[in-house]
Structure 1
Amino acid sequence: MFMDWESPLILLLILPALAFLLWAERRSAHPMPAGRKRVLLVVRALGVMLALVALAGPAEVVLSTQRAVVLAVDCSQSLGEEGVKSAMEKARGVLADLPGEVDVSVVGFGAEARLLSVEDLKAEDGGKLQELMKLGGAQSQYAEALEFARAMFPAGTSRHVVMIGDGHETRGSLLDSSREASWGEVQVHAVPVAGVRRPDVRLRSLTPNQSRLHEGAALALTVEVESALDGAGLLKLFENGVEVERRSVAVKTGQVLKEVFTRHPNTRNIYKYRAVLEGFAEDTMTANNEALAIVDVRGRLRLLYVEGDPSEGQFLMQAMEKEGIQLELRGVESMPTSPQDLSGYDGVILSDVPAHRLGEGAMVAIRDYVDKLGGGFLMLGGPNSFGVGGYYRTPIEDVLPVRLKSPDEEEKQSSALALVIDRSGSMAGEKLEMAKNAAIATAEVLTRNDSIGVFAFDSEVHVVVPMTRLTSTTAVAGQIAGLTSGGGTNLLPGMIEARNQLQRVKAKIKHMIILSDGQTSGQGYEALASQCRAEGTTISTVSIGEGAHVGLMQAVASLGGGQSYTTLDASNITRIFTQDTLIHTGRMIREDALEPQMVERHAMLAGFEKFEPPPLLGYVKTLRKSTAQVPLVTDTGEPLLAHWRYGLGKATAFTSDAKSRWASLWISRWSGFGQFWSQVLRETARPPQGQGMDLRTENRGNVTRVSVDVLQDAGTRGNEAEVTAEVFHVPADSLGASMDPVKTLSLRQSGPGLYEGDFEPEESGVYLVRAQSGAQMVTAGLVFNPSSEASLGTVNDKLLREAARLTGGSYLDGDLKLELGEAKARRYVELWPYLVMAMLALFLVDVAVRRWEHVTGVAEIIVGWFWGKRKA
């Protein structure tokens, strides 16, 4: 015997409670003798301890050696009469070897489970056998049989269930039920029994690769055919009751044949598919020669296409028009800036747009659109994309499946960067803070082989960070953080100092970035910029605000061989600095011909057995994130096509482009250009569903569970909504007929934004469920297949072995002796009622101690009365 506790941590309160009682007793001014006070303290301490022990939920664990076994016998039609006979014989064999003290129950199952007597098991007359097979019917529900058996065990016994049958379940999940049984310390043992092998060919399943898709999308329907004969026949596919394709198929005994049909449903509708086997002369059972599937086809895929150079967007748009995908081409200026504005699209494509032009608001909107609204996002490469586009440390980098810092292992050349920053009085406040942040972020994208110097100017130059090898980004950041504003504006001394320090450092690449927000005094800037260019130093300029000397800055950048940037928003400085640094240090872009290499299988590359397109002419370098899928890489192993899930949505990165700069050979010479991009977009885009609702159906034994998720807005679940679901049915033999209403469900809320309800499909065929909440509506379908309960004379060995393994049971494939082991059953006896009674007794003692005068007075009265009676 030992103890078990429901909430043992409550016992930790005993010491603080006793300490409080002791403190209260010492502070008490109640006139009571010291002895009575000590007794009262002890009584109350015991009462508090008993109360806390009772709250902790103690139970006495009583171990028992009593064992119970339930024999669950498959009596369904899948075994046939001979198979059921064999199952009963094996059940009798197991029963004969069990010790006499074991409690034994017998369950027969098929379409339902029913308790049998041991006499039923021992009876060998044909009438009883026919009755059992009638009970079994045309279904094998192993999961329901296990759940029924678990309810048969007496309390305080070790529990064993022996499943005797072929393991071919038609409804429910034995593995799920076995996992639940293992938590209840039930061991499942399996005895395999096969029916008589008959010449038969059956259609095991018809499985679509998507249950919902858009108009024109490719739909793959996989048919699995299992056979116990050698022969040839026809496999037909029907779409909404009309035959659309037939194939000659040859089958072999014991093998599974897979055939894949490809359809392109081009009209919005609910599509019902039926596969049928015909023409097998030796097939003795035709009831299992068909299977059903249902697919919900929605409107055309619609994506927003934001292209840095809209004239280059025609190549992808024309290719996708042929594939049935609608792209809405926009320039960056008309990019929506809220998730709600993006929610009308199935995905967003961002191509060669720099981060400072896109803006923080649009980047946050894209992130929330993917994360909270389940949208799709694709970034294409280009000179203004990924790291070279300034997306380092932005919301877009969070969404992407690649990291944007340069992988420069193969390029050992060092770079030297000089930042020349205006610190005049007009830069005070946000401008200077953003400039400091930009300088720190720029240091972070450099490597330990690089050098950096930071020079501030007002009327003269101030060396903030002397030109030095970047050994510690933290140290450089600390020096930059101390920069303050003040003084006039004279750029020339800053440029001269930066040029002199760049000349003294050994580096293959030398670059200068100048930032100013105002007019500068002095002259000779153009000549100095030309001289720097001749010495191998390039110069880029950033003009911020309306007062900047934009003309001079553009001239300096032009003569210095760099880029000129103009912005009115100080928050863009960081993006511009990092973008310009990565461009001019030369590590982020590679413009050479490269052969893409397929290294992982993915749905985006379906149909490409060998991925052999023409070469690409360039890409932006990135690094894969750890959980991303990377189906395509470059010849140096860097990511070319990467994909992952982000929040509720999906994001894809293609580090080359889809236009004439790097993909010109793909556009002009590759017939797979349209197929490749259509598959990438379809896998990335938001799945077709209600904007604020999603619907799922799941078979659970004899019932189907309908589950609806409701979103009120981005990231907020809809609670206390009125959600209804209508169920429609089309019979299996008339899939072209209209759907008949079967049932209307009022779904109950079972979790945050989750609504559920159940119904029981009765007839074979297709069921459509349409859920509605207010103006929102979403549909889903399920298939109740015609019964496949016809014996092939085989055993689902894998299922039975796994069920036994999950529960620690055995697989009895020869010897029928069941080893029950020495496991001891446990029974829990709750102790809290006894503790409560003890507390009540202590309460009475507490009252007696506190009212001792009353107790003694009552005692004197009783004693006086007693003596008075004796004298009388």
Structure 2
Amino acid sequence: MINFTYHLIVFLIIPISIIILYYLKPKNKGNILRVAIKLIVIFLILLSIASPYTLIEQEGKTGSDEIIIIADNTPSMRPYNHDIANKVYDYLSNRTQASIDLISGTSSPIGDSILRNIKPGGNILLISDGNNNHGRSITEAVNFARNINSTIYYLRQEPAKNDMSVSISGDVMAVIDSPFDFFIDVNTLGTMEGDLKIYIDDNITDTIHVTQRKRIPVEYFFNTQGPHRIRAEISGQGDEISQNNIFYKSVFVIPKPDILLISNKESPLSKILHELYSVDISPGFKNPGSNKAVILDDTSGLSGNDASILSDYIANGGGLVVMGGPNGYANYEPLLEQMLPVKAGGDIVRSKNAAVILIIDISGSTGDLTGDSVKLGIEKGLARQIIESLGADDFIGVIAFNNVPHTIVPLSRYPDNSKVKDTISRLTSGGTTHLSPALSAAFDMARTFDGGRNAIVISDGIAADSDAALNVAYSMAEAGIKIYTIGVGMDTDESFMKNLAAKGNGIYLKRDQSDGIRLLFGEITIPDKMDGFPLLLINSNHFITRGVSLNATIYGYNNVFTKQNAQALVMTSTGNPVISAWRFGLGRVISITTDNGNTWAGELYDRDNSKIISRSINYAIGNPGKSDDIRDGETGIPLEIHISSVNEPDMAFDGRPLDFEKTGEEQYRATIIPDSEGFHDISGYTIAVNAPAEYREIGNNDLIPEVIKAAGGQVYNISEIERLIPDIKKKNTAMIQARVELATLFLFAALLLYSIEIILRRLVGIFR
């Protein structure tokens, strides 16, 4: 097909032809032929001026063959062969255009380096352990590279030397004569082993022989207030990096916080409280005063005046924990109910059968990376987890959606669910996001089902028809179909997903709460039913649940629903929230819907499980100690000191005066840059200073190859590096549309025709 760049010139052919014919007015056959030839010549010249061309498909290049090598030359790379980067550069530069950019110093801004070097259609070879500890993340950089048609390749190395590192993690404050928990993490590289020594206030408390990477939990009781020191040392033969063999941590010990317990009975709860806090017990409500938190234990209700006092107390920063029991969560004043993260509900109704319809987002945005994984891959994993948690008698249906819904699994029983999971595994991403048609399809699917009806939307919530989707969700809830939502991706529209769940009388869960998915449906068959209700964590990233293990069964609870903006942290096997939390004004409120351990929840208060109770109360208390913010730091990195004071503080760092600036009402800030490791003094406060994290983060980051491959890149070891150039050429070679210019051809045709006309005219003249 012939196309023209300048279409207007083509349209001029008709009026020009008319003008020529008008003036020339051929009267005989000879003249007509000559005029016709001249017209054709003029036509061809005009067509050539219009820049004619055609498109053909041919093999061509879609990107550059140039390779930019980003080589990590930071301290964490010392256990690896340091000549690899130069050898790879020499090999590649002799075969294609190549350059090298070194990352040096005591931090690894790998993501920043990728973003600095990336070009549209370009190629980057990353030589690193993948431990990014400064600037933008590698995932963010790889995503950006993919969006501009660039590719990141990764050379993975194995360490040539052995190394061990140690670090300590835990709270910055401890309560006197109460258990203080912290963790010691030992990281090993190669086949090394060594001895770990733990010091507290310069006294050795334990020695442990370590042969592999491990996390060691430590519990300690401080019996004096003020600053304390924790130090961990690791030693072994053949250790490459000495800067990561010692870690320092400071802890500030405070008095037991004052709390008010409203209760008229002794219980396992009250016993724990007396061990950990300074407890004021009252059988009836009284003004909390200066107490850090109030615990209502199985309280049936408060007067309007009491609720008003409690509301002001919480709004101004106090904490509240409401325990359940036979009298709990009943007859509450509206003002008290307003403060709680839950709302009391009716009795649980269980159906014989349940239907679960999965609504899975497969729009184009689910092909993006989130963290270290592709969204759609996470969605498939969540769907598989839900399917595996259902009983053999439950009904399953699956709808995938982008701009239109696709019913990929009809609603039915699937005792062998392998085909259902296989169907989901083959889903691919593409298209726009229109959720309301998918909800309508689920509505139609579940409309006539006799039993519990549930729909689960797995999506990032970025829908083009959010208002319409909310309307459908409301209609489904009115018809008795519950809608649960699971957000996938760091860019999830949580506001919409929460609203969708609220409209559908369900619950919104983040991806990290997926362990609790199987708890959501009271109607679903529960394998191996018992008289009690096992508890499971459904959010492991909250202060209350982080690092806590839970193995408890309760035998009673108050039936409640978590409010829209609250966080459900622990649920029963029937989907009832047991521990929920939220902020109310400046304060924090926690709902615990089982009892104090006297009747229903004895296991929850044993040694192994009771930490979640103390964590809940600590969360309600907030910051019970000093108002100043003085934290540990690293050498060479600016460390801010925040002090609350009426006047400008007069403080010194290791005897050197600090220069403070006022940042707010009675708030001051100073900045120091520590230059040596160990413990340092700030006018009576102790801080710990460690070597930069670069020294501790040793070994290959196993997530990086997955990130690279998910974005279309490749991972090589050193013996496979010769594949890099062919792979780049293959990636950059594709069938492309090439433009072939035809103007010269049209001019040649015009010249040829004009020449023929002249020759014929001369011949006619000769023979006459």
Q: What TM-score does the superposition give when structure 2 sets the normalisation length?
A: 0.51
The CA distance in 2 between the partners of 1:186 and 1:766, in whole Å, is 49
Q: Which amino acid aligns with 2:249?
A: A
Q: Choose from 331, 336, 342 the match for 1:389.
A: 331
* 8 Å contact kept, 1:197–1:791: no
Q: Choose from 277, 280, 302 the match for 1:325.
A: 277
Deviations 1:165-194 (A, max 9, x none): 333456666548848976997968354353
The CA distance in 1 between the partners of 2:319 and 2:308, in whole Å, is 14
1:363 aligns with 2:307: yes
Q: Which residue number corresponds to residue 703 of structure 1?
A: 637
Q: Which residue number corresponds to residue 559 of structure 2?
A: 621
Q: 1:786 to 1:148 in 2, by over 3 A?
A: closer
Q: 1:332 Cα shift? A: 3.8
Q: Which amino acid aligns with 2:130?
A: G
Q: 1:257 to 1:347 in 2, by over 3 A?
A: same
1:378 aligns with 2:376: no
Q: Which amino acid aligns with 2:658?
A: T
Q: Which residue number corresponds to residue 598 of structure 1?
A: 535
Aligned-CA RMSD value: 5.1
Q: Which residue number corresponds to residue 474 of structure 1?
A: none
Q: Which residue number corresponds to residue 29 of structure 2?
A: none
The CA distance in 1 between the partners of 2:612 and 2:120, in whole Å, is 62
Q: 1:83 Cα shift? A: 2.0
Match of 2:81, SS? helix
1:164 aligns with 2:127: yes
Q: 1:161 Cα shift? A: 5.6
Q: Which amino acid aligns with 2:223?
A: N
Q: Choose from 756, 760, 768 the match for 2:673.
A: 760
* 8 Å contact kept, 1:214–1:298: yes
Match of 1:763, SS? coil
**Structure 2: gaps of 5 or more residues:** 1-62, 352-529, 734-768
* 8 Å contact kept, 2:80–2:159: yes
1:110 aligns with 2:94: no
Q: 1:630 to 1:183 in 2, by over 3 A?
A: same
Q: Which amino acid aligns with 1:611?
A: A
* 8 Å contact kept, 2:166–2:234: no
1:297 aligns with 2:253: yes
Q: Which amino acid aligns with 2:277?
A: I
Match of 1:703, SS? coil
Deviations 1:7-55 (A, max 9, x none): xxxxxxxxxxxxxxxxxxxxxxxxxxxxxxxxxxxxxxxxxxxxxxxxx
Q: 1:754 to 1:89 in 2, by over 3 A?
A: farther
Q: Which amino acid aligns with 2:701?
A: N
Q: 1:809 to 1:332 in 2, by over 3 A?
A: same
The CA distance in 2 between the partners of 1:250 and 1:82, in whole Å, is 20
The CA distance in 2 between the partners of 1:329 and 1:71, in whole Å, is 67
Percent identity over paired residues: 15
Q: 1:302 to 1:223 in 2, by over 3 A?
A: same
Deviations 1:228-267 (A, max 9, x none): 455764322111222111223333xxxx222222222233
Counterparts of 1:47-62 in structure 2 under 5 Å?
A: none
The CA distance in 1 between the partners of 2:239 and 2:253, in whole Å, is 35
Q: Which residue number corresponds to residue 519 of structure 1?
A: none
* 8 Å contact kept, 1:605–1:679: no
The CA distance in 1 between the partners of 2:590 and 2:624, in whole Å, is 18
Match of 1:84, SS? coil
1:205 aligns with 2:110: no
Match of 1:658, SS? coil
Counterparts of 1:258-269 in structure 2 under 5 Å?
A: 258-269=215-226
Q: 1:92 Cα shift? A: 3.1
1:798 aligns with 2:703: yes
Q: Which residue number corresponds to residue 142 of structure 1?
A: 108
Q: Which residue number corresponds to residue 744 of structure 1?
A: 658
Which protein has the larger Cα radius of gyration, Structure 1 or Structure 2?
1
Q: 1:302 to 1:257 in 2, by over 3 A?
A: same
Q: 1:682 Cα shift? A: 2.9
Counterparts of 1:523-534 in structure 2 under 5 Å?
A: none
Match of 1:90, SS? helix
Q: 1:214 Cα shift? A: 2.4
Q: 1:304 Cα shift? A: 1.6
* 8 Å contact kept, 1:290–1:786: no
Q: Which amino acid aligns with 2:724?
A: L
Deviations 1:273-299 (A, max 9, x none): 222224x45656655433333333322
Q: Which amino acid aligns with 1:294?
A: S
Q: 1:822 Cα shift? A: 8.2
* 8 Å contact kept, 2:307–2:336: yes
Q: 1:350 Cα shift? A: 1.5
Match of 1:407, SS? coil
Q: Which residue number corresponds to residue 657 of structure 1?
A: 595
Q: Which residue number corresponds to residue 220 of structure 1?
A: 181
Q: Which residue number corresponds to residue 91 of structure 1?
A: 89
The CA distance in 2 between the partners of 1:290 and 1:755, in whole Å, is 32
Q: 1:805 Cα shift? A: 6.6
Deviations 1:417-466 (A, max 9, x none): xxxxxxxxxxxxxxxxxxxxxxxxxxxxxxxxxxxxxxxxxxxxxxxxxx
* 8 Å contact kept, 1:727–1:743: yes
1:404 aligns with 2:344: yes
Q: 1:398 to 1:611 in 2, by over 3 A?
A: same
Q: Which amino acid aligns with 1:297?
A: V
Deviations 1:297-325 (A, max 9, x none): 32212212223x4xx2587544432x231
The CA distance in 2 between the partners of 1:185 and 1:705, in whole Å, is 37
Q: Choose from 602, 618, 634 the match for 1:682.
A: 618
Deviations 1:61-117 (A, max 9, x none): xxxx99997543333454459722111121333444544xxxx76433321xxxxxx
Q: Which residue number corresponds to residue 20 of structure 2?
A: none
Deviations 1:644-694 (A, max 9, x none): 45565432223343386x469789x96779767444423443134555x66
Q: 1:758 Cα shift? A: 4.9
* 8 Å contact kept, 1:83–1:193: no
* 8 Å contact kept, 2:660–2:670: yes
* 8 Å contact kept, 1:294–1:783: no
Q: Which residue number corresponds to residue 208 of structure 2?
A: 247
Match of 1:142, SS? coil
The CA distance in 1 between the partners of 2:576 and 2:258, in whole Å, is 30
* 8 Å contact kept, 1:207–1:221: yes
Q: Which residue number corresponds to residue 428 of structure 1?
A: none
Q: Which amino acid aligns with 2:196?
A: L
Match of 1:93, SS? helix
Q: 1:353 Cα shift? A: 3.8
1:335 aligns with 2:243: no
Q: 1:328 Cα shift? A: 1.4
Q: Which residue number corresponds to residue 610 of structure 1?
A: 551
Counterparts of 1:834-845 in structure 2 under 5 Å?
A: none
Q: What TM-score does the superposition give when structure 1 sets the normalisation length?
A: 0.46
* 8 Å contact kept, 2:168–2:249: yes
Q: Which amino acid aligns with 1:347?
A: A
Q: 1:379 Cα shift? A: 0.8
Q: Which amino acid aligns with 1:762?
A: D
Q: 1:298 to 1:81 in 2, by over 3 A?
A: closer
Q: 1:819 to 1:672 in 2, by over 3 A?
A: closer
Q: Which residue number corresponds to residue 402 of structure 2?
A: none
The CA distance in 2 between the partners of 1:396 and 1:175, in whole Å, is 47
Q: 1:378 Cα shift? A: 0.7
The CA distance in 1 between the partners of 2:665 and 2:149, in whole Å, is 33
Deviations 1:331-352 (A, max 9, x none): 545324xxxx4xx333211234
The CA distance in 2 between the partners of 1:96 and 1:110, in whole Å, is 25
Counterparts of 1:462-541 in structure 2 under 5 Å?
A: none
Q: 1:595 to 1:378 in 2, by over 3 A?
A: same
